[in-house]
Amino acid sequence: MYNLLVVDDEKFAVKGITQGIEWSDLQFDHVFEAYSTEEAKRVLFSHKIDVMISDIEMPDANGLKLLEWVKEHSPFTETIFLTGHAKFDYAQKAIQLGSFNYLIKPLDHDHLKEIVQKAVHKIQADQELHDFNKTYEKYYDIWIKQLPTLVERFWQEVISGKIPSRQERLQAGFQIYGIPMDAQSQVIPVLISVEQWREDLSARDEEIMEYALRKAGAEMILQSDPGCVIPDQNGINLVLFYVRDYAPVWQDLNRRCTEYIQACNRFFYCDLSCYIGELTPVTDIGRALGSLIGMERNNVTKTNSVMNLQTCVELKGGLPSFPLISDWFLLYELGKLDELLDRIDESTERMQVSGVSSESLEALYFGLIHMVYYVAHKKGLSIQNMFPHNELQDLAVATRSLKQLRNWSARIVTVGIEYMNRHHHEVSVVISRVRKFIEEHLHEELKREDIAASVYLNPAYLSRLFKKETGLSISDYILGVRMDKAKKLLVESGVKVSNVAELTGYGHFSHFAKMFKRVIGISPQEYRKKFQINKSP
């Protein structure tokens, strides 16, 4: 409902409007009267007035002065002026002040009511727009606060293949999330690989520290360059430089990563390395990440280092010497058959154009053999069961021509992925070996790099694999095994509590007692007393 105010120094003029026109059908709840500008101000102070009909010429002050006051104190009130003189100056001033309309006396009541109805419609439209803007501002604020998370999710889905790497699909995402790129842009990926935490951290603590590492990466690696730092869904931290019209100086990027590693060593109590990728089309980001993961996986000797794919830094064990296959490992392991078949087609077509030799055919053949064996070993699957017809032994047939190698490759990855999909619940042999190593060395100081060395894997890569397959970090798993063994020794043996600490890998009794109470809730002595008594007949 709305309120109407009629202002005129002539009483009969006011009554003619307030009583001579039926206002109820225009949703007016109250119709107020005022006989001077001062009285009108008092009404406006006391009530919310939606429409004001005012004479211009009044003894105390004219209606134009009143409108100036209304615009300051009641800015949402719509004003309709009445005057007995058709003065251009009045009309011009009324328009400048923002009056809704300007009518000449004598009045036609039907016409006045029609004008007032239009004013009510304008008020309704303005209110709807105001409500919409308030709602929009509310959700826009929420959107802005959530935007970094939405950008992270967008890139995660691009990398994982949930969003196809087609130019039109990427372009739509860039526009939605305000990413300063287009489908022809390029990126420089930098993989941050945490190799060791030098403090005992729970899974939650590790997540917090990983978040801190990403924030520090944004400040020290990206600096003022456009880009983002995202956590991949497989536990990888990835820096993405957005590149449009320029590329950072490579030497400066190496320096930034070196300083970042040194800062993390100092402030976050961890060892880590940075793997710098090549300038890559945004449509090929998944392949670029696969290459970096290949570098990380094969790095079993260096730590706290910067490794640059562009300058072909040599690692012990080396990157695969066969063409364009380092990124295939991840696609094969994740079961992305269509993408992997596309990679095989692209590589063989490129080899056809650039020329092919028997050595390059054999290199690609043995690279695929290595990939199949490596992933099967990691997943604990039998190669003999996966390929019962000895398809992997067809060197002479497979490398007879590029076409035959392409067909053999497609057949091998198809059989392998289909077999893995049927046996995806089996626990990896690698994880079984890690568990066995931990049990056999529980009394020692277990370091993540020693565990990784026992299965010939990069420590950071092993940590992600272990957590993916068990749901626990390696440190949390070791803590659980130690506490289980400690409880068993405290209840079932007469070994001194201090010796229990040594047998479970704690060099200092105080540290053992602190960890035991944190996990179990009571001290080792209280646990032994409570449960040995309960076991007595």
Question: Where in the sequence is the domain holding 332, given as residue range(s)?
Answer: 321-426
CB 330 within 8 A of CB 337: no
The size of the chain, in residues, is: 537
Please state the rounded mean pLDDT for residues 444-449.
86
DSSP assignment letter at 496: -
pLDDT greater than 70 at residue 506 = yes
What pLDDT is attached to residue 51?
93
Please state the rounded mean pLDDT for residues 416-435.
78
What pLDDT is attached to residue 381?
75
How would residue 325 be classed by pLDDT, with cut points 50, 70 and 90?
low
The answer to whether residue 515 sits within a structural domain is yes
Asked if residue 8 and residue 107 are part of one domain, the reply reads: yes
251 Cα distance to chain centroid:
29
Q: pLDDT tens for residues 115-169?
A: 999 999 998 998 888 888 888 787 777 777 888 888 888 988 888 777 877 888 8
How would residue 425 be classed by pLDDT, with cut points 50, 70 and 90?
low
Asked if residue 306 and residue 180 are part of one domain, the reply reads: yes
How would residue 61 be classed by pLDDT, with cut points 50, 70 and 90?
confident
- 251 compared with 111, residue with greater pLDDT: 111
Distances (CA, A) of 257 to 28, 248, 290, 299: 70, 13, 20, 17
The answer to whether residue 438 sits within a structural domain is no
pLDDT greater than 50 at residue 477 = yes
Asked if residue 333 and residue 305 are part of one domain, the reply reads: no
How would residue 283 be classed by pLDDT, with cut points 50, 70 and 90?
confident
pLDDT greater than 70 at residue 424 = no
Boundary-marking domain end, from 319, 351, 379:
319
> Across the chain, what does the average pLDDT equal?
83
What pLDDT is attached to residue 3?
93
The answer to whether residue 446 sits within a structural domain is no
**Could you tell me the CATH number of the domain that includes residue 252?**
3.30.70.270
What pLDDT is attached to residue 322?
41
The answer to whether residue 278 sits within a structural domain is yes
pLDDT greater than 70 at residue 354 = no
Bond preceding residue 106 cis, omega within 30 of 0: yes
Lowest-confidence segment of 254-263, 375-384, 449-458 by average pLDDT: 375-384
The answer to whether residue 368 sits within a structural domain is yes
Asked if residue 286 and residue 365 are part of one domain, the reply reads: no
**DSSP assignment of 72-100:** HH-TT-EEEEEESS--HHHHHHHHHTT-S
Q: Is the dihedral of CA 199, 205, 210, 212 positive or negative?
A: negative
- Alpha carbon distance 276, 279 (integer Å): 10
Asked if residue 330 and residue 299 are part of one domain, the reply reads: no
Please state the rounded mean pLDDT for residues 201-230.
88
Lowest-confidence segment of 89-98, 303-312, 358-367 by average pLDDT: 89-98
3-state secondary structure of 397: helix
Asked if residue 313 and residue 191 are part of one domain, the reply reads: yes
Asked if residue 385 and residue 508 are part of one domain, the reply reads: no
- CA neighbor of 100 nearest in space, from 133, 78, 117: 78
Number of domains in the chain: 4
SS in 3 state form for 421-488? HHCCCCCCHHHHHHHHHHHHCCCCCCCHHHHHHHCCCCHHHHHHHHHHHHCCCHHHHHHHHHHHHHHH
Asked if residue 175 and residue 313 are part of one domain, the reply reads: yes
- Alpha carbon distance 333, 421 (integer Å): 10
What pLDDT is attached to residue 251?
63
Asked if residue 268 and residue 189 are part of one domain, the reply reads: yes
**Could you tell me the CATH number of the domain that includes residue 518?**
1.10.10.60
What pLDDT is attached to residue 323?
44
- CA neighbor of 381 nearest in space, from 424, 347, 334: 424
- Residue 256 tokens read as 């930034």
**DSSP assignment of 105-168:** SSP-HHHHHHHHHHHHHHHHHHHHHHHHHHHHHHHHHHHHHHHHHHHHHHHHHHHHTSS---HH
Asked if residue 326 and residue 338 are part of one domain, the reply reads: yes
How would residue 234 be classed by pLDDT, with cut points 50, 70 and 90?
low
The answer to whether residue 143 sits within a structural domain is no
3-state secondary structure of 277: coil
Percentage of the chain with pLDDT > 70?
A: 90
Asked if residue 493 and residue 390 are part of one domain, the reply reads: no
Task: Tell me which range, 159-163, 355-359, 418-422, is most confidently predicted by mean pLDDT.
Answer: 418-422
- Alpha carbon distance 342, 3 (integer Å): 71
Q: pLDDT tens for residues 167-211?
A: 888 888 898 888 988 888 889 999 999 888 887 777 778 888 888
Q: pLDDT tens for residues 3-50?
A: 999 999 888 888 998 988 888 888 888 999 999 989 999 999 999 999
The dihedral over CA atoms of 112, 113, 118, 124, expressed in degrees to the nearest 10, equals: 140
